[in-house]
Chain A
Amino acid sequence: MKTNPPQLPLRFFRWFCHPKLLKYIEGDLLELYEERVQEKGKQKADIKFIGDVLLLFRPGIIRPAEGYEQLNSYGMYKSYFKIGWRNLLKNKSLFAINTSGLALGIATCLLIMMFVADELSFDRFNKKADQIVRVVLKGKVNGEIIKEAVTAAPVAATLKNEFPEVLEATRLRRIGTPKITYQANTYRNSQVAFVDPNFFEVFTLPFIQGDAKTALLLPNSIVITKEEAEKYFGAEDPINKLLEFKDAKEQYKVTGVIEKVPANSHFHFDLFASMEGLAHSKEEKWLESNYFTYLVLAEGIDVNEFETKMPAIIKKYMGPQVAQLGMTFEKFKESGNEIGLFIQRLTDIHLFSDFAGTSELEPGGDMNSVYIFGAVAIFMLLIACINFMNLSTAGATKRSKEVGVKKVLGSQKNQLVHQFLIESFISTAVAMILGILIVTVSLSLFNQLSGKELEATFLLNPKVLAALLGLGIFISLLAGSYPAFFLSSIKPIAALKNKFSNGRSKGIRSTLVVFQFVISATLILAIIIVSQQMSFIQDKNIGYNRDQRIVLRESYLLGNNETAFKNQLLTDPRIESVTRSAFVPAGPTDNNMTGVWVGENKEDFRRTIIYGIDPSYIPTMGMQINTGRNFLEGSESENDKVIVNEAFIKAFSLEGNPLGQSINQRTDNNGGFSSLTIVGVIKDFHFRSLHEPIAPLMMLNNPYGGLIIKTKTAEMADLIESIQAKWQAFDVEEPFTYGLLDELYNETYLAEQNMGSILKIFGFLTILVACLGLFGLVTFTAEQRVKEIGVRKVLGADVFQIVSILSKDLLLLVAISFIIAFPLGFYLMDKWLQGFAYKIDIQWWVYIVAGLSTLLIALFTVSFKTVKAALANPVESLRSE
């Protein structure tokens, strides 16, 4: 009888031994054991056996760490990657459509996200950004709405003294466009401001040279940016150099150099002069508003609550000064007047400030456009994901056999889920990389359109990278989840028999297609309406002629020589007329307003815009006088005459007989006034953007300021050159600058034009992505129905019939999407148009055009595949079973 070796060591040996060696060594061990039992007895043989086994426990004999019986299933994941990649390569066109669609979606989304992030980052670079607020002025005086971002000089100091929660108060006052000189370097700069000495303790603008705390303590000290320092002083050390303000005849000593103000700030001044020497800034004048006032509030102070303390301040300080005008503050309020200080968060200034066009430092952003773009980004990503899901599901149904076989061989559901998720992960990763590439390539174009300075390095920020990674995982889960869970739950028998029903997924796919085309059709609608409004603006009769007009806003700089310059211009045969006026209906212009009443009707007191013109203004601008006459040339008596516009007539109800009526305006606070007589009524012209209705306007014979030239030549460049030569002949230091009226006009609508082009690009991308999805879908349908098509062809169906059978369902979906898209588009675009005082009506044919073009695009996309399927030889499709 055979003796058995001790089981425990044997089992241990079997466990650790390398599988390739196991049977041989075990054989040896058993042979030796048998021999030893014979020779020395069982006990000794057992001990020897144990010893042998223990001595075998050494590298070379022990099986390697990774072997066939692993603790995890990483090997399976390796195989998923391999199979996933092979599968993607097998369906190259589907893979290409799928990833490029997703890449476009990701790229668009990233670009917009960068834009939105930039918009939201405004002024956040300030360390105390959350504590800084700006005090603004709002109210209603004599029926005129007052909305100013500036307040009176004493507001800052008063608030700091009155309220302990105000830690710091600082002011800023802009200085027009001073001429600043250092030795031979003279420049005009529009970005110059007076600021309080503590300005740099409130705003975080890092100093390169000098000290933030002390730089502006002394009058006539100035802090400049590095760029300005290089401009004026070159390589010299700027500190203690003297800059001369030519117009004010003052010298400022440079006491600090700072970095350029960041792009995402609500101001971009280059020179900050100390306000210490500005006498006006120390006066207790509550009725003049010139100062941007910023406060640093203690942490945790509720801005709204703080705001409720303002009326008391107004009453206490402004009240007495109002009373000096002859009306007590109570009476002032009783007669329907209001005036109040309001608190605005620093971080709200860029996106929420509504002082644009009045006194805001710089045109801000618009929260609405942030919302719109954000929505576009999310929709774009959603569409791309939907496509991805759609196509993956469609492509995956072809793999039902694979799933069936895998299931029969013992694959568990979660293994299959993993497999499909990994495939979606691979595609997402490829799309993500592609998307980032697209972003870096197209960033400069996007910057041009959006007027931003976005940089691709933004994407390298660890937070952004983490977000990107998160986004990638989210997309792969979202896009991969449906095919993963759907396919893995197919019953193997059904899958193998190919009896697998497609009903449920078809419903979902249809919904997704409808959703995409809702967005596409809405965008097409929006594009048409925006373009219509833009061409409406272009073609609208704005009441004056903007072609071939040259504007020389700076001609007042010639001083006494201006008339001589004007007379020289008039000798040029290419110039038809020249008018002297600082008032230009488009682009930068002088603004002047005053409160007036007509005749004895003192109660009807209205703020009215005043244009100072000369007799040649109206003919030069191509404006039209409805009744009455223009000013007469060279007549002193014309100075108390006035020409008003139709809106003025309407506002004061002078329709009957406007001519000869007297317009009165106050000259002092004691009831004194001067009168002007209406001699003419001019046809309304748009002197502000079409967002605003035409306001009452009066024109006085009071020419000053710039020149507007009406030309009659096609060679504009030559003419401008010769004008420049004449300018320079006067030997002025001032550089020659000019503008063309039509360009100035167009610049007014730059935001709308940019929005139009951005909308067009995104619209195009959305439609492209939606079409990619549709194309993928019809590819899938055509392949599924290949036999059916074959049979139909054999039975005599022609190409057109087959094409229509294949396209019918999809086009129906597109048609359904219109039902949702049109009301949606109408609602959104109507809201957009509300922003214009002068706007187009949305016409019925717009819907037809939008619908037809969407349908045609869809049909065109689908036709690539359907025609090919219809032309295929039925033998090919029918011969295999």
Chain B
Amino acid sequence: MKKYQLGEFEEVVMLTVGVLYKDAYGVSIKKEIESRLTRKVSVGALQSALKRLEDKGYLKSFEGEATEERAGRPKKYFQITALGKRAMEYSKSTRDELWSAIPKVAWGTKIVVG
């Protein structure tokens, strides 16, 4: 069984929240992912991912300021929790391990061309 449940998109969201540090809320996260990874992110996909991560305890949130362009609705800022950090580290280290376990020769012989 996996120790930490973290999907690909979830990991992207977590990393982006980390990147944005104190400025991670719905719109900013969406824009950041879209600009850095050049992929489209719908509000729905993002929000449900955020909710899942919060439910898992990887993210915590607090209510931010309400601005005029939001018609007085407050922002919800996200922060990575200690558990979230561990999950990210775990995810990274397993990938690193896998990376380092790939024999060098595998890169040299291109049998199948994707």
Chain A residues in the interface with B (C-beta under 8 A): 2, 21, 23-32, 34-35, 51-52, 54-61
Q: Are B25 and A28 in contact, with the CB atoms below 8 A? A: yes
> Can you list 11 contacts pairing A with B, beta carbon distance less than 8 Å?
A24-B75, A27-B26, A27-B70, A28-B25, A30-B71, A31-B70, A55-B43, A56-B43, A57-B44, A58-B44, A61-B44
On whether A31 and B27 interact (CB within 8 A), knowing A56-B47, A60-B48, the answer reads yes
Known: A23-B74, A52-B42. 19 other contacts (CB 8 A): A21-B47, A24-B73, A26-B71, A28-B25, A30-B69, A31-B67, A31-B69, A31-B70, A34-B69, A55-B42, A55-B45, A56-B42, A56-B44, A58-B44, A59-B48, A60-B47, A60-B51, A60-B52, A61-B47
Distance to closest chain B CB from A510 (angstroms):
62
CA distance A732 to B29 in the complex (A): 112
Q: With A and B bound together, what is the CA distance between A2 and B70 in angstroms?
A: 11
Asked whether, in the complex, the Cβ of A24 is within 8 Å of the Cβ of B74, the reply is yes
Residue picked from B67, B73, B74, most chain A C-beta under 10 Å:
B73
CB pair B73–A32 under 8 Å, yes or no, is no
Asked if A24 and B26 make an inter-chain contact with CB atoms under 8 angstroms apart, the answer reads yes
Q: Counting CB contacts under 8 A, is B85 at the interface?
A: no
Least CB distance, A605 to chain B, in whole angstroms: 107
* Pairwise interchain contact A25-B74, C-beta atoms closer than 8 A: no
Confirm or deny: B66 has a beta carbon within 8 angstroms of a beta carbon on chain A.
yes
Return chain B residues, CB-CB under 8 Å to A25.
26, 43, 47
In the complex, B76 has a CB within 8 A of chain A: yes
Tell me if B73 and A30 are in contact (CB < 8 A): yes
How close is B56's CB to chain A, nearest CB, in angstroms? 12
Interface mask (B33-44 → A, CB under 8 Å = 1, otherwise 0): 000000000111
Contacts of A2 in B (CB 8 A): 71
Task: Determine if B66 and A61 form an interchain contact, defined as CB atoms under 8 angstroms apart.
Answer: no
Cross-chain contact of B74 among A27, A51, A54, A56 (Cβ < 8 A): A27
Q: Which secondary structure dominates where chain A touches chain B?
A: helix
* Cβ–Cβ < 8 Å partners of B43 in chain A: 25, 28-29, 32, 52, 55-56
Distance A2 CA – B72 CA, assembled complex (angstroms): 13
The answer to whether B51 and A21 touch across the interface, beta carbons within 8 angstroms, is yes
Sorted nearest first, the 9 A-B pairs with minimum C-beta distance are A27-B73, A55-B44, A28-B26, A24-B76, A56-B44, A27-B70, A60-B48, A55-B42, A52-B43
B70-110: CB near A (< 8 Å → 1, else 0) gives 11011110000000000000000000000000000000000
* Interface residues, chain B, with chain A CB atoms under 8 Å away: 25-27, 30, 42-45, 47-48, 51-52, 63, 66-67, 69-71, 73-76
- How far apart are A216's CB and chain B's nearest CB, in angstroms? 77
Nearest residue, chain A, Cβ from B55: A60
CA distance A56 to B49 in the complex (A): 11
Residues of A within 8 A of B42 (CB): 51-52, 55-56
Q: Is chain B's binding surface mostly helix, strand, loop or mixed?
A: helix
- A29: chain B residues within 8 A (beta carbon): 43
With a CB–CB cut-off of 8 A, which chain A residues contact B69?
Answer: 30-31, 34-35
- Roughly how many angstroms separate A30 CA and B71 CA in the complex, as a whole number? 7
Assembly CA distance A56 to B41 (angstroms):
12
Residue of A nearest to B75 (CB): A27
| A residues in contact with B52, CB < 8 Å | 60
CB distance from B49 to the nearest CB of A (A): 9
Within the complex, the shortest CB–CB distance from B104 to chain A, in Å, comes to: 43
Complex CA distance for A27 and B52, rounded to whole angstroms: 19
Which chain A residues border B75 with CB–CB below 8 Å? 24, 27-28
In the complex, what's the smallest C-beta–C-beta distance from A78 to chain B, in angstroms?
A: 25
Measured CA separation A744–B30 after assembly (Å):
103
In whole Å, how far is B72's beta carbon from the nearest beta carbon of chain A? 8
Chain B contacts of A27 at CB under 8 A? 26, 66, 70-71, 73-76
A607 to B75, CA, bound (A): 114
B70 pairs with A30, CB closer than 8 A: yes
- A59 proximity list for chain B (CB < 8 A): 48
A757, B45: Cα distance in complex, Å:
80
Contacts of A52 in B (CB 8 A): 42-44
Q: Which residue of B lies closest to A62 (CB)?
A: B48
List, in ascending order, chain A residues with CB within 8 A of B44's CB: 52, 54-58, 61
Shortest CB distance A39–B (Å): 12
Among A23, A54, A56, which residue has its beta carbon within 8 angstroms of that of B73? A23
Q: Which residues of B contact A51 (CB under 8 A)?
A: 42
Q: Which residues of A contact B67 (CB under 8 A)?
A: 31
Known: A28-B26, A34-B69. Is A58-B74 also a contact (CB below 8 A)?
A: no
Interface centre among A27, A29, A30 (most CB of B within 10 A): A27
Nearest B residue to A2, CB-CB: B71
Task: Tell me, in angstroms, the Cα distance from A61 to B67 when the chains sit together.
Answer: 23
Residues of chain B within 8 A of A28, CB atoms compared: 25-27, 30, 43, 47, 70, 75
A26 to chain B, nearest CB (A): 5
A648 to chain B, nearest CB (A): 105
Which residues does chain B contribute within 8 Å of A30, judged by CB atoms?
69-71, 73
Which residues of A lie under 8 Å from residue B30 when comparing CB positions?
Answer: 28, 32
CA of A10 to CA of B66, assembled, Å:
19
Complex interface: chain A residues within 8 A of B47 (CB): 21, 25, 28, 56, 60-61
CA of A30 to CA of B67 in the docked complex: distance in angstroms?
Answer: 11
CB-based nearest B residue for A24: B76
Cβ distance A136 to chain B, nearest Cβ, rounded Å? 84
For B66, list chain A residues within 8 Å (CB): 27
Closest to A29 in B: B43
| A829, B67: Cα distance in complex, Å | 92
Chain B hits for A32, CB < 8 A: 27, 30, 43
CA distance in complex: A881, B47 (Å)? 57
Most buried by A among B47, B69, B71, B75: B47
Question: What's the nearest-Cβ distance from chain B to residue A57, in Å?
Answer: 7
